[in-house]
Amino acid sequence: MEAIRNQQIDEALRTFRDLNRELADLRSIASTLNWDQETTMPPAGTPFRANQDATLATLYHQKLTSPQYGAILEQLEEEELDEWNRVSLREARRAYDKATRVPEALVGELAETCSMAYEAWVEARQKSDLAHFSPWLEKIIHLKRQQAHCLVEGDVPYDAMLDEYEPKMTVARLDPLLDTLRPLLTELVERIRLSPHQPDKGLLRGRFTQERQLELGTTVITAMGFDWKAGRLDVSPHPFCCGLNPGDVRITTRYSEEDFSVGFFGIVHEAGHALYEQGLQAERFGEPACETISLGVHESQSRLWEIFVGRSRPFWEYWFPRLIDAFPESFASVALEDFLHAVNQVEPSLIRVDADEVTYGLHVILRYEIEKALFEDSLEIRDVEGVWNQKMEEYLGLTPPDAARGVLQDVHWSHGLFGYFPTYLLGTLYASQLFQQAREDIPDLETQIARGEMLQLLEWLRQKVHRHGKRYSADELLRQVTGRAPDAACFLEYLNRKYSELYRLE
């Protein structure tokens, strides 16, 4: 009897694995198409590609919500499984429930609305007129709230939005974090603004050929441990990282020939994402347990390399002479101190994607507060622009001169991506805690980085974060690795220490 039963479980697990593998293959194919579209596809291919995407999405949805998949989940949930399979089962159940709880008609209406809303947003931004986009925004929020009601366990619809990108994150957990950060960030920005010790802002400007930028970027991410047999680097208008599978992780950047920092930190940032994808367990590809945890944790990997390593003094002690070799005409007569201050300059700005690490969080908090109010129904669409401008003034001391540089600057809402922005900031908070722990675990870490050696740090991340896949939630991972839940204290301490020195704050 026992033998027959074991055989049945093995068979169910095999079917479960095969179905998961097919789902992962479809996701991977969709990502390949997406990479192709962003990097090489000619523009006239767009409508055809949209059809291909829709066909694939339908296939995927059918497979994920098939009675066979549902039955396998139910069957395995009765069994005692090992940890990896338990995690896979939990994650598969989560995906299955999300896909089956929302009526197909609503999914279709959302997809259709968002594709038209995107066009409207492009036009609205061109004309800098929110009125072109408002009716779409209103409709998307209406539909997203319906979606939230199908998904949410408690009584806060916005929690369903957060959970989509940062599983288990809720308004109740996020509010205290951001309420702590906001006044302290605003205060730090103000102290920095008043400091007489300001960097030379023109110092990073010059003539930087794309070829040399690529050469330097390539050398740096090779030293970080980027695996070129399992990855590539291309150019695209919007930098991104596309993990097709652990053996094929593609990153892109865009170069500015006037400012080397755009391309350079873009490459380091995306390479941080890529190292996470390359560090997943290749032999388990397709198992739901062997994927990245969340957008927040993903962003923690990119921010850790970009900011905590890439904008640090030890890093540039090694790399600044190499930067001078690449661009002697721009940097040969620049002192390391001045360069460090320039790559860490803080200045309130209107555009989120251009923001420095101190002001960035305030851009995110502003969007979060507005989204939350829209979902709570305490903010009307017609008041969004006014509230946006008023918060910009309050948090950053700036008033957007027009909607294009204010409320219309980000594409996210037109795609229905609500609850997404907080992951950018959470990533930085997680990164500060992880990097602090890495410094404790590897006592000579900064000396290593100052010698251009970064592989022990990568190995630490592999062991502590990458190889666990989805075993832990973000919160559990942070507790496991650092002994503390995610909080704002570590990041604030880091900022105060670093910027007090750079700006000689009292």
Beta-strand relationship, 248-253 and 231-235 = parallel
For helices 295-303 and 421-441, what crossing angle results, to 10°?
50
Question: CB 486 → Zn ion: shortest distance, Å?
Answer: 17
Alpha carbon distance 85, 15 (integer Å): 13
Stretch binding Zn ion (CB under 5 A), from 75-83, 144-152, 301-309, 334-342: 301-309
Closer by beta carbon to Zn ion, 335 or else 411: 411
Residue 231: beta bridge partners?
249
Question: CB 427 → Zn ion: shortest distance, Å?
Answer: 7
Q: Check residue 252 for interaction with Zn ion (CB under 5 A).
A: no
Please give the distance of CA 392 from its chain centroid, rounded to a whole number.
23
Alpha carbon distance 202, 505 (integer Å): 22
Q: Check residue 302 for interaction with Zn ion (CB under 5 A).
A: yes
Closer by beta carbon to Zn ion, 302 or else 344: 302
Question: CB 280 → Zn ion: shortest distance, Å?
Answer: 17
Cβ(428)–Cβ(307) under 8 Å? yes
Six-digit token string for 387: 């509230």
Per-position b or e across 434-452, b if 16+ CB within 10 A of its CB: bbbbbeeebeebbebbbee
Residue number of the CB closest to Zn ion reads 302
Residue 251: beta bridge partners?
233, 241
Catalytic residue among 91, 270, 277, 299: 270
Cα torsion 369, 311, 430, 94: sign: positive
Q: Check residue 437 for interaction with Zn ion (CB under 5 A).
A: no
Stretch binding Zn ion (CB under 5 A), from 23-31, 121-129, 242-250, 296-304: 296-304
Closer by beta carbon to Zn ion, 239 or else 416: 239
Closer by beta carbon to Zn ion, 294 or else 302: 302
Question: CB 343 → Zn ion: shortest distance, Å?
Answer: 18
Question: CB 302 → Zn ion: shortest distance, Å?
Answer: 4
Phi, psi of 311 (to 5 degrees): -110, 20
The verdict on whether 270 is a catalytic residue reads yes
Closer by beta carbon to Zn ion, 287 or else 410: 410
Question: CB 242 → Zn ion: shortest distance, Å?
Answer: 12
Question: Can you tell me which residue has the tokens 């507005």?
Answer: 370
Cβ(99)–Cβ(65) under 8 Å? yes
- The beta-carbon contacts of 331-335 under 8 Å, at least 24 apart in sequence, are 334/203
Beta-strand relationship, 231-235 and 241-245 = unpaired
Closer by beta carbon to Zn ion, 236 or else 330: 236
Q: Catalytic residues, which ones? A: 270
Residues that bind Zn ion (CB under 5 A): 302
